[in-house]
């Protein structure tokens, strides 16, 4: 027997007794496993659960995703962020439906050519759904193995060569999907980023960082600087309808709908910035500006503070495919970034008069 076997046995034994009961673990449907894995990228498990349940209820099959318009896909993704993930799901679903009999291909070389199927997603789907002998590396697995091997440094892909060698050495001949999920679960519940629970870790006996007492400083913490952005936003109401506009199809928050406005330039007041932005973007002048609320939302590398103003407009505001006057009951038809969605919540609560 190899030296790796005790690690694998202990890990799987622990997982089968401690794994969380998550909805995507109750199925072997490759489609549902794929959706869960994409949602879980950059998003916590607790945040994903309601989105996953709502998604699979609305889109129970690959064909249902392929048949849906992109705007509906984005609407059901609203709140999860990183909207390119949803666009890739839509593109891949169309390709799978057209070329692969509405079933996710089991062929590694085909799968990795589909939009959104990077090395991690391919390995996760094939191992969990089909028990293919493939290793995967995500943030949790990277952290677990870095501690096992006492690899110092930041948790980036510069160490993935060593990590991959270790994983291939401990990958079991069967139950590969369980093994990969067990590693991720261990990282999420025990070998945590902060305050790891080494006392209950099933594989601490072979953990080099634990033996050296350096597990708290592996990986090296990131020094992340958050950029702060202040934006003036207009809530323009006319005949119980509100004006929204669609963002460009490329770039940040592509294809999402938002209230008009823009960044505040140093030296400008909130009001001056809003008047300038509305004139530049829409060619309109507004009147009766009244500060309504401040809405804050954090993204990965920046914080946006939306300074929301209620105002009126006499005429000349466009209405076309990318500019709409919307009734409050129809806001749910338009996918929006989280900041704009918070403004909608304020409107729906009756606070806008």
Spell out the domain ranges in the chain: 5-217, 227-348
How confident is the model at residue 353, as a pLDDT? Answer: 58
Predicted local confidence at residue 194, as pLDDT: 85
SS3 (DSSP) at 290: strand
Cis (ω within 30 of 0) for the bond into 48? no
CATH code of 5-217, in short, is 1.10.340.30
* 10 has a pLDDT exceeding 90: yes
Contact 311, 270 (CB under 8 A): no
Instruction: Identify the pLDDT of residue 106.
Output: 94
**CA distances (Å), 195 to each of 19, 105, 209, 240, 353, in order?**
20, 40, 14, 52, 48
Burial of 222 (0-12, 13-18, 19+ CB in 10 A): exposed
For residue 1, what pLDDT is reported? 34
CA separation for the pair 334, 90 (Å, rounded)? 17
Q: Is the model's pLDDT at 2 over the cut of 60?
A: no
In this prediction, residue 290 carries a pLDDT of 94
The helix or strand, by DSSP H or E, that contains position 308, with its residue range, turns out to be: strand 302-313
- Which residues lie across from 276 on neighbouring strands? none
Q: How far apart are CA 49 and CA 267, in angstroms?
A: 44
Q: Helices marked H in 78-118 — which ranges?
A: 84-99, 108-111
Asked if 37 is an active-site residue, the reply is: yes
Fold of 227-348: Nucleoside Triphosphate Pyrophosphohydrolase (3.90.79)
Residues 6+ apart with CB under 8 A from 50: none
User: Which residue in the list 37, 185, 258, 275 is annotated as catalytic?
Assistant: 37
pLDDT digits (tens, 9 = 90+) for 30-79: 999 999 999 999 889 999 999 999 999 999 999 999 999 999 999 999 99
pLDDT band at 224 (very low <50, low <70, confident <90, very high): low
């Amino acid at each position: 027997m190899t030296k790796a076997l005790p690690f694998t046995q202990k890990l799987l034994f622990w997982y089968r007794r401690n794994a969380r009961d998550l909805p995507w673990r109750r199925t072997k449907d490759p489609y549902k496993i794929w959706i869960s894995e994409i949602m879980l990228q950059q998003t916590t498990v607790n945040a994903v659960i309601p989105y996953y349940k709502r998604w699979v209820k609305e889109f129970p099959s690959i064909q249902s995703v392929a048949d849906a318009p992109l705007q509906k896909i984005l609407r059901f993704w609203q709140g999860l962020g990183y909207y390119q993930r949803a666009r890739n799901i839509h593109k891949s679903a169309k390709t799978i439906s057209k070329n692969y009999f509405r079933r996710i291909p089991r062929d590694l070389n085909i799968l990795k050519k589909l939009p959104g199927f990077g090395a991690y997603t391919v390995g996760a789907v094939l191992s969990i759904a089909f028990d293919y002998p493939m290793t995967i590396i995500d943030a949790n697995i990277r952290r677990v193995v870095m501690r096992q091997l006492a690899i110092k440094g930041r948790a980036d892909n510069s160490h993935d060569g060593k990590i991959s060698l270790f994983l291939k050495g401990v990958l079991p001949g069967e139950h590969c999907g369980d093994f990969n999920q067990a590693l991720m679960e261990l990282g999420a519940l025990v070998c945590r980023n902060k305050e790891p629970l080494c006392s209950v870790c099933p594989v601490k006996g072979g953990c080099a960082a634990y033996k050296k007492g350096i597990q708290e400083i592996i990986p090296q913490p990131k020094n992340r600087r958050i950029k702060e952005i202040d934006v003036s936003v207009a809530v323009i109401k006319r005949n119980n309808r509100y004006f929204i506009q669609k963002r460009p199809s490329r770039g940040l928050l592509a294809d999402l709908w938002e209230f008009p406005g823009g960044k505040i330039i140093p030296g400008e007041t909130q009001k001056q910035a809003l008047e300038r932005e509305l004139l530049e973007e829409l060619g309109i002048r507004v009147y009766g500006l009244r500060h309504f609320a401040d809405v804050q939302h954090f993204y990965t590398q920046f914080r946006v503070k939306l300074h929301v103003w209620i105002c009126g407009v006499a005429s000349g505001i466009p209405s076309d495919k990318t500019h709409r006057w919307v009734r409050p009951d129809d806001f749910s038809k338009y996918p929006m970034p989280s900041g704009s969605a918070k403004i909608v919540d304020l409107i729906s609560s009756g606070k806008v008069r």
